[in-house]
Amino acid sequence: MREFSMIEGRTLPDQLLAITSVVCLLSYALLAWLSHQDRSVDLSVFLSISLICAALAALVVWQYSVHKREIPFIWILCSAILFRVIGVTGQPLLEDDFYRYLWDGYRTAVSGDPYSLPPSWFFAQEAISARFEHILSNINYPDITTVYGPVCQWIFAAAYFMAPGEIWPLQWIATLADIGILLLLRLMCRHNTLLLYAWSPLLIKEFAFTAHPDIVAVFMTMAAIQFRFLGRPSLVGVFIGLACGIKIFALLLAPFLLLVRKDLKRSFIGSVSFILTLALITWWYGTVKIWVPAGLVSMADNWLFNAPLYLLLTAWISLQSAKAIILTSFAVVYGIWLFQYYKRVDSTAGSTADREFRNLPIRADYLYAVFLLCIPVLNPWYLSWILPFAVLYPSRWAWTAGASILLAYVTGIYTGDPSLGLYQQPLAVLLIEFGAVGTALFIDWKHPLVSHRQRI
């Protein structure tokens, strides 16, 4: 009887893993099929499938943890690849940003300058193919120039040269970066939470299906972290510089990666390689304006979406005043974190110095969580900056956020509710979305999955 119980204990998680893998596979295949029938996949179907897949992944991780077993990484990797390949076969879901990617790639490839002219300038031009006329007519906010960084434009141009006006090259680029992050995470840890990353509906939807470029920046940031572990400061500078060229969010981690207390040589090499990378990118375009595109300035000035702190404050003060208060507060907090880093962290020269990053007096998941709460636009794919660190620092709140953020799609444009603006969310949805994260954060505080002192 005892032997039977041991066998049963060994096989139950494996059986669950196999069954849930098939369910998720069929779910993503259904989404891919529906995306070809109608690009406006019913929101309730999308949310139901996503939340079910997220719950199944959590159930599998919980079962393996209960039985004190490690999920086979080969299964994690193969299932991650398979789910994302299915996503690549589909069309973008609940998004039209990809039209801008395709247009920017075209402009970068043919002129080298996607920043000077807004898409609307080309409405009256005749020397545009029918394919790109269709793309041009579907770009949102065509009077605003691009918001995307200089390295993003290289990615878009590379996709253009692979297949002009087609989304699949960008889907593959995003998918390869996403799988690359999973492999890097495996080098850093052996947690079962790798499965949560591999099966994340948010990541599969936003990158395999929808091809947002942020994931490439996250990959380069994680590569910079790995090179920090390996004691290669020049490569740290190059990769974090390229990441900043895709998404300026990477700049938040740059000081923690580039500067090493009591190791001036490594700090100097890393900083110089970082500055040279930014300089070479700037030289290629011939202007520093690429780092603050006019479209990005317009977005920062006027857009407000899925930002509870701003919604709370703007009930009492103007949006500009709210931005000043919130962003100043973040700057102060960030400065304190940075000061504490250089006050507490010590290192020794040589290859062992990279271990000090594992003892940072800052949690990168907390850093990005606070930052995302402090910006006026919180798009779902921005959570890709938190989820890799949620593997390194297992927590309930981060993975809850990775699932609940999908409720951000419950807006007027996708629900058809005439009482809502196109990108306006019902108050009840905001309360559920952020209330779930707050509840999970409270549970983590009372019953943490890892020690409060544990670092990378």
Ranges assigned E (strand) in 39-119: none
Co-location of 64 and 98 in the same domain: no
pLDDT at 362: 65
| Co-location of 273 and 312 in the same domain | no
Residues 332-356: what's their mean pLDDT?
A: 63
> Based on the domain organization, do 391 and 427 belong to the same domain?
yes
Nearest to 273 by CA among 290, 295, 257: 257
Does residue 296 sit within a domain?
A: no
Regarding whether 437 and 319 lie in a shared domain, the answer is yes
Cβ-Cβ contacts under 8 Å for 182 (sequence gap 6 or more): 76, 77, 80, 194, 197, 198
Residue (of 252, 456, 229, 261) closest to 342 by Cα position: 261
Q: What is the mean pLDDT of the chain?
A: 88
Is 233 inside a domain boundary? yes
- Are 137 and 26 in the same domain? no
Instruction: Judge whether 179 lies within some domain.
Output: no
pLDDT (tens digit, 9 = 90+) per residue, 171-223?
A: 999 999 999 999 999 998 878 999 999 999 999 999 999 999 999 999 999 99
Q: Same structural domain for residues 266 and 330?
A: no
CB 340 within 8 A of CB 362: yes
Q: State how far the Cα of 201 lies from the Cα of 207, in Å rounded to an integer.
A: 10
Tokens representing 130 are: 């029918």
Q: Tell me: do 329 and 373 sit in the same domain.
A: yes
Which structural domain, as residue segments, surrounds residue 278? 213-291
The reply to whether 269 and 282 lie within a common domain is yes
> Quick one: 86 and 98 in the same domain?
no
Instruction: Tell how far CA 325 is from the center of its chain.
Output: 26
**pLDDT greater than 90 at residue 345:** no
Instruction: Please check whether residue 340 lies inside any domain of the structure.
Output: yes
Does the residue 372 lie in any domain? yes
**31: helix, strand or coil:** helix
What secondary structure letter does DSSP report for 305? Answer: B
Within a domain: 177: no
HSE, side-chain direction, 13 A CA sphere, residue 359: 12
Distance set, CA 354 to CA 26, 232, 271, 358, 387 (Å): 43, 9, 16, 8, 22
Residues 158, 114: one domain?
A: yes
Can you tell me which residue has the tokens 């890097």? 184
**Residue 392 CA: distances (Å) to CA of 183, 187, 358, 424:** 13, 11, 10, 34
**Residue 382 sits in the same domain as residue 453:** yes
User: Is the model's pLDDT at 12 over the cut of 60?
Assistant: yes
- Asked if residue 297 belongs to a domain, the reply is no
User: Is 31 within 8 Å of 41 (Cβ atoms)?
Assistant: yes
Number of domains in the chain: 4
CA gap 194, 162 in Å, rounded: 32
DSSP structure string for 173-199: HHHHHHHHHHHHHHHH---TTHHHHHT
Residue type for 405, please? I
Q: Which one is predicted more confidently, 298 or 253?
A: 253
List pLDDT tens digits, range 44-81: 999 999 999 999 999 999 999 888 899 999 999 999 99
